[in-house]
């Protein structure tokens, strides 16, 4: 342990980041910008040359940062995992989606674990950051790493019996530390968000804190990796449930002719005991629609059903259908049917001002609208062409928001409230608008053409 702590103190510790996505890339940049030699590992061969030439493939991660660390030779990306032993600290940031049965798909963690075990050397520290169910670090990764020398030597005939398993906290160090990235939030970045850390042993925790304290403003130690894993799930479940609550209230209040956004804004003036959450067309992003179900799955092993999580999931999953019902109702009031209508969806990404399309409700809205016979287009200043996702493959390109184009559509449906939209211009030039975010009113538009829902 002394070796790695000394290297951290002397700032000669080499960082390896496995998975250079929305989480891994900014973390790699933090270390490299602080002067640590940082190696990025990814299986996506397309990203490697791009990053090594100082370019970014994520809109809100600026290329000049990448260029700076590439030019100063503090960072490079590679798909060659045999270079893993060059890193003293390895941080895993790979995806944790759900499979087609909405069960955890931890194959990315398992694959990263296997390859790290294949090259694990004495003295290395490994931290998992991917959101996952409590127990993953100790149940999946720990046994792989303990048996790493046996795995490595099993290829050499006759040597197997002489090799001793690694001891955690002595031969290698293992921790879980959940990521809390909020893409494009101007107030918080990877370095300024406090980070929860749980080590398998007290030595593991010490090393983990020393590694993270180099770049993170504040580390928050907890007693175990499972406590850290559970913390991340609590944070995301809390959001999922509160969003479901306001989505349900939106539907109830609408029947009562009460504006849910007005009510939330009024309630938010209470200086304690209330946090504002806002309704929308459905959940999006890599975390909130997915992570809660990691706990649901794990809880079954303990014969517990997670009713709150399931209920919230049910309500949130229904929201795109509710929005389309509302769209049909608006058109109906103007003697039109969805079938045959031209609909323009504004905003394709799952949240405003970013280009991240994962689990975006806009994709579901397109699917339902098409099923009902509508002709659908979209506009998104951040997404020029709809990318292929795990579930959807649309061949669609963003249409220009011109006067002439807007006038073509029977209904404009605002799904993502990008800041750069000119809401007054859109309202002035559209026939009918369905606003799922209350963006038009917030922009000061007061028009009979705009309906909330
Ligand atoms: N995006 C967020 O805002 C956010 C926030 C908090 C937590 N998380 C969690 O962080 C984790 C990573 O999310 P992300 O958004 O960065 O995902 P991402 O899809 O943007 O990036 C993951 C990267 O890992 C790479 N990868 C996959 N398998 C690999 C392997 N075996 N070895 C090396 N690289 C591999 C992929 O090619 C990709 O570049 C997930 O568990 C997610 O739930 C994400």
Which backbone phi and psi does 11 adopt, to 5 degrees?
60, 30
Give the Cα separation of 244 and 253 in Å (integer).
14
3-state helix, strand, coil in the chain (%, to 5): 40, 15, 45
d(CA 363, CA 315): 18
Ligand 1 atom 21, closest CA? 21
Q: Kindly tell me if the per-residue pLDDT of 81 is higher than 80.
A: yes
Residue 348, pLDDT > 90, answer yes
93 is a catalytic site residue: no
Tens digits of per-residue pLDDT, 361-390? 999 999 999 999 999 999 999 999 999 988
Q: Is the CB of 438 under 6 A from ligand 1?
A: no
d(CA 441, CA 87): 52
Q: What is the pLDDT of residue 157?
A: 62
* Neighbour-count burial of 380, counting CB atoms closer than 10 A to its CB (0-12 exposed, 13-18 middle, 19+ buried): buried
The number of the ligand 1 atom at minimal distance from the alpha carbon of 291 is 43
Q: Is the pLDDT of residue 160 over 70?
A: no
Please give the average per-residue pLDDT across 278-300, as a whole number: 94
Q: Is the CB of 92 under 6 A from ligand 1?
A: no
User: In 82-224, which residue ranges form alpha helices assigned H by DSSP?
Assistant: 107-119, 136, 142-146, 148-153, 202-213
Q: How far apart are the first and last CA of the chain?
A: 57
44 lines ligand 1 (CB under 6 A): yes
Encode pLDDT of 328-341 as tens digits: 999 999 999 999 99
- Ligand 1 centre to CA of 109 (Å) is 10
Our answer on whether the CB atom of 181 is closer than 6 Å to any ligand 1 atom is: yes
- With a cut of 90, say whether residue 14 has pLDDT above it: yes
Best mutation site among 20, 48, 82, 95 for ligand 1 pocket (most ligand atoms within 8 Å of CB): 95
- Report which ligand 1 atom has the smallest distance to the Cα of 58: 20
Q: Which atom of ligand 1 is nearest to the CA of 287?
A: 43
Distance CA 214, CA 11 (A): 9
Contact 109, 132 (CB under 8 A): yes
214 lines ligand 1 (CB under 6 A): no
Ramachandran region of residue 9, left (φ > 0), alpha (ψ -120 to 50) or beta?
A: alpha
Q: Supply the DSSP symbol for 40.
A: E
The answer, yes or no, to whether residue 158 has pLDDT greater than 70, is no
Task: List the catalytic residue out of 287, 319, 406, 427.
Answer: 287
């Amino acid at each position: 342990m002394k070796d790695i702590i000394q290297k951290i103190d002397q700032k000669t510790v080499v960082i390896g980041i496995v998975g250079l996505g929305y989480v891994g890339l900014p973390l790699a940049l933090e270390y490299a910008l602080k002067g640590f030699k940082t190696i990025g590992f990814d299986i996506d061969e397309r990203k490697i040359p791009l990053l090594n030439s100082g370019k970014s493939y994520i809109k809100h991660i600026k290329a000049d940062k990448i260029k700076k660390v590439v030019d100063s030779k503090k960072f490079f990306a590679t798909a060659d995992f045999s270079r893993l032993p060059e890193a003293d600290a390895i941080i895993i940031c790979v995806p944790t989606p759900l499979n087609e049965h909405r069960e955890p798909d931890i194959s990315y963690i398992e694959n990263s674990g296997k390859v790290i075990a294949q090259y694990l050397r004495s003295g290395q520290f490994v931290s998992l950051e991917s959101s996952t169910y409590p127990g993953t670090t100790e149940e999946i990764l720990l046994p792989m790493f303990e048996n790493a020398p046996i795995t490595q030597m099993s290829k050499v005939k006759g040597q197997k019996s002489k090799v001793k398993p690694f001891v955690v906290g002595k031969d290698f160090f293992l921790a879980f530390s959940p990521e809390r990235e909020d893409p494009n939030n101007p107030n918080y970045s990877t370095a300024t968000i406090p980070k929860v850390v749980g080590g398998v042993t007290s030595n593991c925790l010490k090393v983990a804190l020393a590694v993270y304290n180099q770049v993170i403003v504040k580390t928050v130690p907890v007693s175990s990796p499972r406590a850290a894993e559970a913390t991340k799930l609590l944070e995301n479940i809390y959001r999922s449930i509160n969003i479901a609550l306001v989505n349900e209230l939106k539907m109830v209040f609408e029947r009562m002719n009460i504006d849910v956004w007005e009510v939330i804004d009024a309630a938010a003036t209470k200086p304690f005991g209330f946090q504002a959450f806002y309704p929308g067309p459905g959940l999006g992003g890599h975390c909130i629609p997915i992570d809660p179900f990691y706990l649901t799955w794990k809880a079954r092993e303990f014969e517990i059903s997670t009713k709150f999580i399931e209920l919230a999931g049910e309500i949130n999953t229904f929201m795109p259908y509710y929005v389309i019902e509302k769209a049909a109702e608006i058109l109906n009031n103007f003697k039109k049917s969805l079938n045959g209508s031209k609909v323009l969806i504004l905003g394709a990404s799952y949240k405003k001002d970013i280009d991240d399309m994962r689990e975006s409700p806009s994709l579901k809205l397109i699917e339902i609208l098409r099923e009902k016979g509508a002709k659908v287009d979209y506009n998104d200043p951040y997404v020029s062409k709809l990318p292929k996702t795990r579930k959807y493959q649309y061949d669609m390109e963003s249409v220009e928001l011109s006067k002439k184009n807007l006038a073509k559509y029977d209904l404009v449906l605002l799904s993502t409230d990008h800041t750069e939209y000119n809401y007054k211009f859109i309202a002035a030039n559209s026939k009918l608008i369905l606003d799922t975010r209350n963006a038009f009113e917030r922009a000061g538009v007061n028009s009979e053409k705009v309906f909330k829902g």
